[in-house]
């Protein structure tokens, strides 16, 4: 169950990171509200997962998933260029996260 929660919390990290960028320094209401809700749920999920998973592993999975999804979303929306090198490097992060699961 903890692995499912940390993956969901990592996805919420991508939500709050994207919302933070769109809040324009917390001057826009809805992106700021999405940020607050997503960051609370994301941190809560990480904390829950850390009850069963080692801190380093849980944190690495959480940040890896959050960072990967944030960049994938930015590339899909055209905010960042989607180059072959970027895609391969993001794939490397995903592979490392999967490796941590299999080693656990």
First to last CA, the chain: 13
- The pLDDT score that the predictor gives to residue 101 is 87
- The pLDDT score that the predictor gives to residue 59 is 97
- Kindly give the confidence (pLDDT) of every residue in the chain, 104 residues in length, as a single tens digit, with 9 standing for 90 and above: 999 999 999 999 999 999 999 999 999 999 999 999 999 999 999 999 999 999 999 999 999 999 999 999 999 999 999 999 999 999 999 999 999 888 87
- The pLDDT score that the predictor gives to residue 39 is 98
């Amino acid at each position: 169950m903890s692995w499912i929660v940390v993956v969901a919390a990592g996805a919420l990290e991508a939500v709050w990171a994207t919302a933070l960028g769109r809040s324009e320094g917390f001057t826009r209401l809805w992106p700021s509200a999405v940020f607050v809700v997503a960051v609370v749920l994301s941190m809560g999920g990480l904390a829950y997962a850390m009850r069963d998973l080692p801190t380093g592993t849980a944190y690495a999975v959480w940040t890896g998933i959050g960072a990967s999804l944030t960049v994938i979303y930015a590339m899909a929306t055209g905010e960042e260029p989607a180059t072959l090198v970027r895609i391969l490097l993001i794939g490397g992060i995903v592979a490392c996260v999967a490796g941590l699961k299999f080693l656990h």
